[in-house]
Amino acid sequence: MRYSLGSLLLNAFTGQRHWNPAWRSPDPKPHYDVLIVGGGGHGLATAHYLAKHHQVGRIAVLEKGYVGSGNVGRNTTLIRSNYLLPGNTAFYELSLKLWEGLEQDINFNAMVSQRGIINLCHSDGQRDAYMRRGNAMHLNGVDAEWLDAEAVRALLPQFNYDNARFPIKGGLMQRRGGTVRHDAVAWGYARAASQRGVDIIQHCEVTGLKIENGMVKGVETTRGPIEAGKVALAGAGHSSQLAAMAELRLPIESHVLQAFVSEAIKPVIDHVVTFGAGHFYVSQSDKGGLVFGGDIDGYNSYAQRGNLPVVEDVMESAMALWPALGRLRVLRSWGGVMDMSMDGSPIIDHTPIENLYLNAGWCYGGFKATPGSGYCFAHLIAKDEAHPTAQQLRLDRFQTGALIDEKGVGAQPNLH
């Protein structure tokens, strides 16, 4: 049933009887034309755009847990396209544009909230870097504006201006940046893809890839073998494990990123803000909880949990920026597994195995990329050539040196 005010009213008066499952849960068929491995945001978005824009036959998404159990189900929900480097800026802008029309496209309210994101600046060098970035954004047709210290203070009077270790000297603002209700993205794409005939198969773990003569033929799963014309990997933090099934080694390390939610309170902050003198960013969810996070823990991990040093680091930055947070309490924390690439930017490309495609290396920025990633990955799978916007997100850029290293820290994933 299509979601609308009418269907909501109808159900309100009929005991909610008319709602169907948001997506079908069929048993896996023996053969698909395209198999997408990974039922997270990227995998589901890929399925949706494949089904919507390309004629590729039968599509299935295989998910080892439940739909959205990966990073799309545990992140700090930010969307933005305030990137510096060619290769990133246009790609994330495509993604942001898709966010802007997402809800009407998939008929699911994911609460895309363009409340504006502000990166705070604390030194002249940082200001120059933000100006360079802001100009790059403009050149790509992306909105960006500079806020001087007074303008920041007027917008965010609750911050520490008078006793700060690293005074706020301004900020780079992207008004179109914001937040999205993350689970709804997974569910909305799953529902939309399912309605277009995509089989979404939960609790089906891929345990092996069937490869003959350098060409992928299908997958082994916990629910039996499935043959496929094309196989697309969208395994996020577990990309290295999937690639290993094809005897591929990736320029990726898996790291843990923690995030936090406070108890729910009445609105206290209207924007997304990142602190420039420490690892901290914050926004407030519509339910009232502050959603915030910081740096990755910094060691290889698949454990989905982190440790106290980073917890404390985040809280210290929180207090340094916003001293009123002292009495507010952390309600929940979690850890997600990040596929940290060697230059901090993602990969959407063919693999050396024919008909095997890779979508990986999203670091801690995968959520905002969800629609763009799905859109470009679908294009690659369907046409066997990179979408123009994602052309630079190549796997061989590490060999050629055409890196997309926004932070300039080199082949050291825990510093990106």
Partner 1 sequence: MRLTCPYCGPRDSREFTYKGDATRIRPADDDKMFDYVYVRDNPKGLHQDYWLHQPCRNWLVVERNTATHEVTSVTAAAQREAKP
Partner 2 sequence: MTGFRIGTPPTLDQSKVLRFRFDNKIYHGFAGDSLASALIAHGVRLVGRSFKYHRPRGFLSAGIEEPNGLLSVGEGARLTPNIKATMQPLYDGLVAQSQNRWPSLQFDMMGVNDWFANLLAAGFYYKTFMWPASFWEKVYEPLIRRAAGLGQAANLPDPDHYAQGNLFCDCLIIGSGPAGLIAALAAGRAGLRVILCEQDFVLGGRLLHEGDSFLSLSTQDWLTETLQELESLPTVRIMKQTMVFGHYDGGTYGAIEHNAAYSMATSAQEPRQIFWRIVAKQSILAAGAIERPHLFPNNDRPGIMLGSAVRSYLHRYGTACGHSTLVYTSQDDGWQTAFDLKKAGLAVIAIADTRSMIPQHLEAQAWQYDLPILKNACVTETTGRLSLNSVTITHEGGRETFQCDTLAVSNGWTPTLHLTSHQGSKPIWDASRHMFLPSKMQQGLLCAGAANGAMGLGECLASGLTAANRMLEQLDKQPQKIILPETPAPVLQTASFFHPTQTGKAFVDFQHDVTTNDIHLAYQEGYRSIEHLKRYTTLGMGTDQGKTSNMAGLAIMAELCGQTPDAVGTTVFRPPFEPIAIGALAGHHEGKHFRTTRLSAAHSVWEKEGAVFVEAGQWLRPQYFPKKGETHWRETVDREVVTTRQSVGLCDVSTLGKIEITGKDALAFLDFVYCNPLKSLAVGKTRYGLMLREDGFVYDDGTIARLEDNRFVITTTTAQAVGVMNHLDFCHQVHKPHWDVRMVSVTEQYSQFAVAGPQSRALLERVIGQQIDLSDEAFPYLACKEFSLAPHIKARLFRLSFSGERAYELAIPAPYGEVLAQTLITAGQDFGLTLYGTEALGVMRIEKGHSAGNELNGMTTAGDLGLARMVSKSKDFIGRVMAQRPALTDPDRPQLAGFRPVQPQDQFAAGAHVFSKNVPHSIEYDEGYLTSVAFSPICGSLIGLGLIRNGPQRHGEVIIAYDSMRGRKTELEIVSPCFYDPEGVRLNG
Residues 308-347 that bind partner 1 (CB under 8 A): 309, 342
* C-alpha span between 177 and 14 (Å, rounded): 39
Position among 115, 143, 298, 315 found at the interface with partner 1 (CB under 8 A): 298
Binding flag, residue 286, partner 2 (CB under 8 A): yes
Say if residue 104 is exposed, middle or buried (CB neighbours under 10 Å; 0-12, 13-18, 19+): exposed
Pairing between β-strand 78-79 and β-strand 59-62 as defined by DSSP bridges:
unpaired
**According to the binding rule CB under 8 A, does residue 300 interact with partner 1?**
yes
Closest approach of partner 1 to the CB of residue 301, in Å: 5
| From partner 1, partner 2, none, interface partner of 327 (C-beta below 5 to 8 A by class) | partner 2
Subset of residues 85 to 104 that bind partner 2, contact rule: CB under 8 A: 86, 89-90, 100-101, 103-104
φ/ψ of 289, rounded to 5, equals -75, 140
Q: At what angle do helices 41-53 and 366-383 cross, to 10 degrees?
A: 40
Distance CA 412, CA 88 (A): 19
Using the contact rule CB under 8 A, the part of the chain among 30-38, 45-53, 112-120, 234-242 near partner 2 is 112-120
Is residue 82 classed as helix, strand or coil in its secondary structure?
A: coil
Cα 214 to Cα 152: distance, rounded to the nearest angstrom: 56
Supply the minimum distance, in Å, between the C-beta of residue 299 and partner 1.
5
> Is 125 an interacting residue with respect to partner 2 (CB under 8 A)?
yes
Question: Tokens standing for 190?
Answer: 């799953």
- Write out the binding residues for partner 2, residues 139-198 only, by CB under 8 A: 139-141, 144-146, 158, 160, 163-166, 178, 181, 183-184, 187-188
| Helix-helix angle 366-383:182-195, to 10 degrees | 20
Cα–Cα distance for residue pair 153/162, rounded to 1 Å: 11
Binding mask 221-260 for partner 2 (x = CB under 8 A): ----------------------------------------
Residue among 101 and 352 whose Cβ is closer to partner 2: 101
- The type of residue at 324 is A
Task: Confirm or reject binding of residue 303 to partner 1 (CB under 8 A).
Answer: yes
Residues 65-84 that bind partner 1 (CB under 8 A): none
**Is-contact 414 255, C-beta < 8 A?**
yes
CA distance linking residue 325 with residue 259, whole number of Å: 16
Q: Which of partner 1, partner 2, none lies near 104, with the C-beta cut-off 5 to 8 A by kind? A: partner 2
> By rule CB under 8 A, what count of residues binds partner 2?
123
Applying CB under 8 A, which of residues 60, 79, 136, 206 lies at the interface with partner 2? 136
Using CB under 8 A as the binding rule, whether residue 366 contacts partner 1 is answered as no
- Residue 249 or 329 having the CB closest to partner 1: 249
Q: How far apart are CA 415 and CA 210, in angstroms?
A: 36
396 touching partner 1, by CB under 8 A: no
Q: Determine the 3-state secondary structure of 291 from DSSP.
A: strand
Q: Does 307 engage in binding with partner 2 (CB under 8 A)?
A: yes
For partner 1, the binding residues (CB under 8 A) are 238, 240-241, 244, 249-254, 298-303, 307, 309, 342, 398-399, 411-414
